Amino acid sequence: MPTKPGPVGAKANGDGAKTAKAAWNPEDSITLLLIIMQENNPDLSVTGWKAIKERAQAVFENNYGMEGAKHQFQKLRREFMNKFPLETKSKGDEEAAMTPTKGRKRKATSTNDHATGSGDGNKRKKARGNKEEQEIQMNDLESGQADTKAKDE
């Protein structure tokens, strides 16, 4: 035997019976709109107040001024943000997201090079600075090596 349809918006509960949902009140409607807005704009910031002013004047028939509209929005925003604060990321997540890369990575020395001594541990680092300074440093290093070789012989 067919059953009568339930009220509009009725939903079946766990035992199959339909229960009526409460009607939307203005506060819940505003909260829903702010939740929707916050999905793409987490801090609910607003730009384009000039266009908003023109539209609001047409909709509300000039009953509210621009400053009143801004004030009302900020009040609603503040109440919403206090009642439903955003979940903040942990400090580690923020640091990982904001840590810049360091540039090129150097080739890692294999562990076999250290163990066998086959790695060239005597490599000189390149001097930084202008070319004249680099040439002077290279000459100093080469002359220092020449002196040590002469002493060794």
> Mean pLDDT over all residues of the chain?
74
Looking only at the bridges linking them, the beta strands covering 11-12 and 18-19 are: antiparallel
pLDDT, greater one: 14 or 35? 35
Predicted confidence (pLDDT) at residue 90 exceeds the cutoff of 70: no
Q: Can you give the length of the chain in residues?
A: 153
Residues 15-29 have a mean pLDDT of: 80
Predicted confidence (pLDDT) at residue 123 exceeds the cutoff of 80: no
Alpha-carbon Rg for the chain in angstroms: 36
Residue 47 is predicted with a pLDDT of 93
pTM of structure? 0.45
Predicted confidence (pLDDT) at residue 117 exceeds the cutoff of 60: no
Residues 98-109 have a mean pLDDT of: 63
**d(C-alpha 25, C-alpha 138), whole Å:** 81
Nearest in space to 19 (alpha carbons), one of 4, 5, 6, 1: 6
H or E element: which one contains 6?
none
Kindly list the distances between the CA atom of residue 64 and the CA atoms of 55, 60, 73, 121, in Å, as whole numbers in the listed order.
Answer: 11, 7, 12, 78
pLDDT in tens, 26-82: 999 999 999 999 999 999 999 999 999 999 999 999 899 999 999 999 999 999 999
DSSP secondary structure string, 15-52?
TS-EEPPPPPPHHHHHHHHHHHHHHH-TT-----HHHH
